[in-house]
A and B are shown apart, each in its own frame.
Chain A
Amino acid sequence: EVVLTQSPATLSLSPGERATLSCRASQSVYNYLAWYQQKPGQAPRLLIYDVSERATGIPARFGGSGSGTDFTLTISSLQPEDFAVYYCHQRSRWPLTFGGGTKVEIK
């Protein structure tokens, strides 16, 4: 199975700062990678798919990059509503897998 390793586990930042989240795959997932945001008590929400495509209604401050095994989610300027847990996910091979998550918390 493809193991997705996210780092850091926790990111402490202030509103307005830039957030950079990493997701590394144990083997190439090509460009079949997505990012989700989850707030406490809520279902996850699709942010980015196919590495860099923003899902419907997602603000431009969210951006994705990478290829093969190394991927990055960037939030250019953190807004108060962006403090949450972020998961990466791959669909290149069965079983579909998620990373362990990165919590972005207010510093």
Chain B
Amino acid sequence: QVQLVESGGGVVQPGGSLRFSCAASGFTFSNFGMHWVRQAPGKGLEWVAFLRNDGTSDYYADSVKGRFTISRDISKNTLYLQMDSLTVEDTAVYYCAKDGPNYGPGPYYFDYWGQGVLVTVSS
């Protein structure tokens, strides 16, 4: 079965950086696009970033463009999110999500989600 396991969250100061990962299993990682979606405490969902299945194109929400970078390591079946120049507004639970259920370049929808990792930006 599809599993997505995030790791690497924590507390970081404003202006700092953080990188966390999402280990994928149960599907052919290289065949599907992947997303990051976040949820601030007590708030709704916000899409953050998407990486196409062929790894050639990435897309970002305006709120993170130029500060966040989505990437992957096919050999490790792992998705990453590098976050720089963090602000308190970036405090949220970050979910990795598989693009699907259709097969192709996407984006489609978020058909499987990880358990989420909490990032707290605070001085």
Contact = CB atoms under 8 A, between A and B. Distances in A.
Contacts, number: 57
A44 B113 contact: yes
Interface stretch (A17-25, A68-76, A87-95): A87-95
Contacts of A91: 107-109
A101 B111 contact: no
Contacts of A34: 109-110
Interface of B: 35, 37, 44-47, 50, 59-62, 95, 101, 107-116
9 contacts: A43-B95, A43-B114, A43-B115, A44-B95, A89-B109, A94-B59, A96-B35, A96-B107, A101-B44
A100 interface: yes
A106 interface: no
Interface of A: 34, 36, 38, 43-46, 49, 55-56, 87, 89, 91, 94-101
Contact of A55 (B37, B47, B62, B101): B101
